């Protein structure tokens, strides 16, 4: 099937959101006022307190956010969805139901994410195991030291589950400093030992953004050797990678939204054009090549991370999967952040969504 490209428009690769939390969003509902938070523990506690207050269901809020993301050109996403002994698999089922309504335009890979701890929440591992049968694709993890206080215990649990279920891993890691780097090197060691090269991702990885750390170089090399993908979100106060340094060490990087208008932050809109702009802004982009890189990290690099053929490659304006923008070139597109005029996946044009 073909939809003829419009010559006056700029044709671009489909966008990929490499790290998003659709079950936490307030999108589609009333404005949510946030509580203050000074630490990661405060943010997680606010999140827990908010989860049961929403008027709309997980499916309703996730559909509202996902449909907005598709209209803005996101054709695939890696969705980290909370599981816990309290939540069970309900959020995974809600996000999967929302995602099913957006086929065949949007691919959603769901990570079973132990936001509230795994070792510290008896029953969470059972919920993770169960969630892999009802819609989750990957096994998640969270700061083995900062949240769980047991590096090897946490990694044994999630790598063990991934082995038993035959799934890939995508791990949240906010821990900074040399300790954060040591955790990342241990994840790289286990990745290689288990023959999992290219099938493990780490979200945030703030320690890899700290140029002052003596073992940064060797850790970047270990990440590259293990083929680990890093997902960065270019969030307001959080560290961002030195993109040249990552390239020099051969580290694979993609970009995501993280939480969108949830208890953690009032910001975000699910548009990866907007996220490419924020990454370019946060990393001090000046040249067209730097702006184009921000788009590439938000599109084809994400497609490679998720292993989705039509989003990992780009064959120009005739591609059966493409976005068409009213923009003069990629650099201006990233600066002005318009929504695409047309979204085309495998020859089908996205209709107006309910």
Which residues are near Zn ion by CB under 5 A? 258
- For Zn ion, the closer of residues 47 and 258 by Cβ is 258
Left (φ > 0), alpha (ψ -120 to 50) or beta: where does 74 sit?
beta
Burial class (CB in 10 A: 0-12, 13-18, 19+), 253: buried
d(CA 172, CA 114): 9
Angle at 298 between CA 292 and CA 299, to 5 degrees: 90
Helix spans in the chain (H): 40-51, 58-71, 90-100, 124-131, 151-165, 177-193, 216-225, 243-249, 272-282, 288-297, 300-306, 309-312, 330-336
- For Zn ion, the closer of residues 45 and 221 by Cβ is 45
Least CB distance to Zn ion at residue 113 (A) = 8
Q: How far is CA 89 from CA 111, 132, 156, in A?
A: 12, 9, 22
- For Zn ion, the closer of residues 258 and 262 by Cβ is 258
Least CB distance to Zn ion at residue 181 (A) = 19
Least CB distance to Zn ion at residue 204 (A) = 7
Strand partners, 201: 170, 229
d(CA 200, CA 217): 20
In contact, 200 and 189? CB cutoff 8 Å: no
Least CB distance to Zn ion at residue 258 (A) = 5
Least CB distance to Zn ion at residue 328 (A) = 34
**Which residue lies nearest Zn ion, judged by its C-beta?**
258
Least CB distance to Zn ion at residue 238 (A) = 11
- For Zn ion, the closer of residues 32 and 341 by Cβ is 32
- For Zn ion, the closer of residues 174 and 249 by Cβ is 174
- For Zn ion, the closer of residues 168 and 258 by Cβ is 258
């Amino acid at each position: 099937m073909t939809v003829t490209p419009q010559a006056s428009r700029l044709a671009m690769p489909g966008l990929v959101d490499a790290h998003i939390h659709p079950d936490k969003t307030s999108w589609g509902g009333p404005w949510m006022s946030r509580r203050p938070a000074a630490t990661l523990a405060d943010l997680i506690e606010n999140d827990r307190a908010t989860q049961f207050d929403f008027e709309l269901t997980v499916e309703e809020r996730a559909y509202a956010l996902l449909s907005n993301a598709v209209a803005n050109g996101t054709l695939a996403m890696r969705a980290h969805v909370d599981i816990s002994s309290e939540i069970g698999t309900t959020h995974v089922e809600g996000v999967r139901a929302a995602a099913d309504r957006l086929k065949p335009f949007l691919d959603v890979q769901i990570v079973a994410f132990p936001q509230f701890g795994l070792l510290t929440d008896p029953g969470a591992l059972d919920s993770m195991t169960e969630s892999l049968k009802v819609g989750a694709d990957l096994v998640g993890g969270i700061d083995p030291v900062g949240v769980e206080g047991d590096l090897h215990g946490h990694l044994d649990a999630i790598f063990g589950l991934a082995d038993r279920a035959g799934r890939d891993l995508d791990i949240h890691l906010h821990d900074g400093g040399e300790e954060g780097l040591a955790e990342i090197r241990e994840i790289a060691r286990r990745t290689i030992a288990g023959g999992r090269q290219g099938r493990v991702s780490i979200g945030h990885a703030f320690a890899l953004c700290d140029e002052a750390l003596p073992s940064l170089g060797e850790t970047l090399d270990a990440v590259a050797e293990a083929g680990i993908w890093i997902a960065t979100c270019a969030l307001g106060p959080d560290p961002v990678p030195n993109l040249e340094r990552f390239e020099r060490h051969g580290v694979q990087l993609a970009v995501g939204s993280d939480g969108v208008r949830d208890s953690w932050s009032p910001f975000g809109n699910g548009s990866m054009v907007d996220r490419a702009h924020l990454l370019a802004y946060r990393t001090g982009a000046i040249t067209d090549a730097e702006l184009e890189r921000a788009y590439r990290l938000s599109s084809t690099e994400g497609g490679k991370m998720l292993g989705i053929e039509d989003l990992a490659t780009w064959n120009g304006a005739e591609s059966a999967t493409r976005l068409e923008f009213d923009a003069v070139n990629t650099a201006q597109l990233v600066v002005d952040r318009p929504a695409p005029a047309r979204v085309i996946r495998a020859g089908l044009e996205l209709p107006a969504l309910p």
